C-alpha cells in the first residue's frame, strides 16, 4: 500500500497516527507531497486523487481510497487490533457521535475561522472575513463547552483512546493557534491534549 | 427505544429510512417535534439533546445517542441485516468514502447556499449572502460532477444500496430546490434519485 501524505497537513497525520497505533506503519510506503510546491495539483496526482487532496491510499491492485476516515476504517477492517472504532454497539455509537460532534462543533468552525481570516490563506481560499469571524466566534464558544466536557473524562468518547481522540487532538493542535487563540487558556483541554499527545503514536 | 424526530427535517428522515430498510421501524417509538413551534428549543428537550437537534435516540436505560450516523451505526450493530455500512474492508471503505465525499462536496455547499441566502432562514441563521452565493456556486459545480459520476453506476458506493445512497438522495431531494435549482437539469442524478426513492423505505 502507498499513502500519499504531506508532512504539514493535519488529515494525513491522522492516518499516520492510526497506522502507528495499529503497529503497521511499516506495511505502508509513505509518499510525501510538498503542498507548498503544489505537488498535489499536478496532473499525475490528480489522476490518483481527482480532488487534489491528501491523504489518498493506493492499494497494491491500484484501487484508490480517498478521505481520512475511509482510509482508517479500511485499515481497522484489515487490522482489527487494537480497536479504534468501537466494539459494542454503544461504544461504536459513542465514537461516531463524538467524532461527528468534534468535527462539526470544533473542527469546522476553527477551520473556517482560519481559512477565511488568515492572511496566509488569501491565495488558497475565496475569503470572506465576516463569515470567518462569525465562525471563529462559534469556535471560541465551543472551546469553552469542550473545556467543560473534557473536565470529567480522560478520553472524549469513553474510557479508552479511540479514533475520536485522534480527530479532536489533531484538530486542536493544528487549528487553535492558527486562529490566534492560546490553548493554555483552556486548562482542561490543554491537559487532555498533553496527555493524549504523549502517546508514542503522536511523537514525530 | 425512543427516536426524537421531526417530520420536515432531512436528518431524522435518514434514520427513519434506515429503520425501514432494517425492517425495525416498529421497535422504536417516534416522538415528532414541531420545529416551527420551537419544540426543540425547550428546556425539556435540551435536557435530552443539549445541541437542540433532531434526531436523538433515547435507549431504554436513558442513554442518549446524538448525530444521525451514530444512531444508524448503533442500529447496524444491533441489527446487522440487511447490511448498510459494508461487509468487506474495501466495501466498508467505499461506503465511508462516498458518504464523506457526498457530505462535503454536495450536501454542505447546498446547505450553506440555502441557509445563507434563503429569506426563510433569516431568523434562524446569521446569514452572509456573499458566502452563501459562493457556496451555491460550488454546489452547482458539484452537481455537474456528480451527474457525471452517477452516469455509469446504479448506486453511489458500489453494486448495491447503502447508507451513502441514503445520504445522497435525501440531501438532493431536500436541498436542490431550496437553492432554486431544478434537479431535472441533471438527468443522471434525476434518474438515480427516482430509482432509489422508489424503494418502499423512501415512501411516506
What pLDDT was estimated at residue A204?
Answer: 77
What is the nearest CA distance from A76 to chain B, expressed in angstroms? 8
Question: What end-to-end distance do the CA atoms of chain A give, in Å?
Answer: 21
Fold of A2-78: Glutaredoxin (3.40.30)
Best mutation target, B131, B135, B145, B164, to test chain A (most A CBs within 10 A):
B131
What is the nearest CA distance from A73 to chain B, expressed in angstroms? 6
Inter-residue contact B90 to A63 (CB < 8 Å): yes
Give strand pairing partners of B31: B4
Looking at this predicted complex, what is its ipTM? Answer: 0.95
Distance CA B159, CA B145 (A): 20
Best mutation target, A55, A58, A93, to test chain B (most B CBs within 10 A):
A93
Pairing state between β A56-58 and A2-5: antiparallel
Q: Which residue of B has its CA nearest to A128?
A: B131
Pairwise CB contact (< 8 Å): A73 & B93: yes
What pLDDT was estimated at residue B204?
Answer: 77
pLDDT in tens, B132-174: 999 999 999 999 999 999 999 999 999 999 999 999 999 999 9
Q: What residues does each domain of chain B span?
A: 2-78, 89-202
Which of B83, A75, A43 shows the shortest CA–CA distance to A67?
A: A75
Pairwise CB contact (< 8 Å): A67 & B126: no
Enumerate the residues of chain B whose CB falls inside 8 A of the CB of residue A77.
88-89, 92-93
Pairwise CB contact (< 8 Å): A90 & B74: yes
Distance CA B44, CA B39 (A): 9
Pairwise CB contact (< 8 Å): B78 & A92: no
What is the nearest CA distance from A132 to chain B, expressed in angstroms? 10
What pLDDT was estimated at residue B125?
Answer: 86
Enumerate the residues of chain A whose CB falls inside 8 A of the CB of residue B63.
90
Best mutation target, B97, B104, B164, to test chain A (most A CBs within 10 A):
B97
Distance CA B37, CA B189 (A): 34
Determine how many CB atoms are found less than 10 A away from the CB of residue A203. Answer: 9
pLDDT in tens, A188-199: 999 999 999 999
What pLDDT was estimated at residue A36?
Answer: 87
| Number of A–B residue contacts, CB under 8 Å | 79
Average pLDDT, rounded, for chain A: 96
Pairwise CB contact (< 8 Å): A73 & B92: yes
What pLDDT was estimated at residue B102?
Answer: 98
Report, at the CATH architecture level, how domain B89-202 is classified: Up-down Bundle (1.20)
pLDDT in tens, A96-109: 999 999 999 999 99
pLDDT in tens, B60-80: 999 999 999 999 999 999 999
A146 has pLDDT over 90:
yes
What pLDDT was estimated at residue A103?
Answer: 97
Q: Which residue of B has its CA nearest to A125?
A: B134
A123 has pLDDT over 90:
no
Amino acid at each position: 500500500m502507498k499513502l500519499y501524505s504531506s508532512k504539514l497537513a493535519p488529515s494525513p497525520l491522522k492516518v499516520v497516527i492510526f497506522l502507528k497505533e495499529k503497529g503497521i506503519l511499516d506495511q505502508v510506503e509513505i509518499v510525501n507531497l510538498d503542498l507548498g510546491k503544489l505537488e498535489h495539483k499536478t496532473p499525475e496526482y490528480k489522476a490518483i486523487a481527482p480532488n487534489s487532496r491528501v491523504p489518498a491510499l493506493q492499494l497494491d491492485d491500484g484501487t484508490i481510497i480517498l478521505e481520512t476516515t475511509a482510509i482508517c476504517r479500511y485499515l481497522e477492517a484489515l487490522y482489527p487490533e487494537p480497536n479504534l472504532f468501537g466494539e459494542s454497539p454503544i461504544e461504536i455509537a459513542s465514537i461516531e457521535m463524538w467524532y461527528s460532534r468534534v468535527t462539526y462543533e470544533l473542527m469546522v468552525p476553527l477551520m473556517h475561522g482560519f481559512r477565511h481570516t488568515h492572511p496566509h490563506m488569501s491565495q488558497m481560499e475565496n475569503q470572506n472575513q465576516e463569515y470567518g469571524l462569525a465562525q471563529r466566534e462559534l469556535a471560541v464558544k465551543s472551546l469553552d463547552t469542550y473545556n467543560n466536557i473534557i473536565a470529567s473524562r480522560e478520553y472524549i468518547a469513553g474510557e479508552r483512546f479511540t479514533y475520536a481522540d485522534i480527530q479532536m487532538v489533531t484538530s486542536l493542535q493544528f487549528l487553535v493557534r492558527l486562529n490566534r487563540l492560546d490553548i493554555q487558556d483552556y486548562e482542561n483541554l490543554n491537559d487532555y491534549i498533553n496527555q493524549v499527545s504523549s502517546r508514542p503514536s503522536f511523537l514525530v
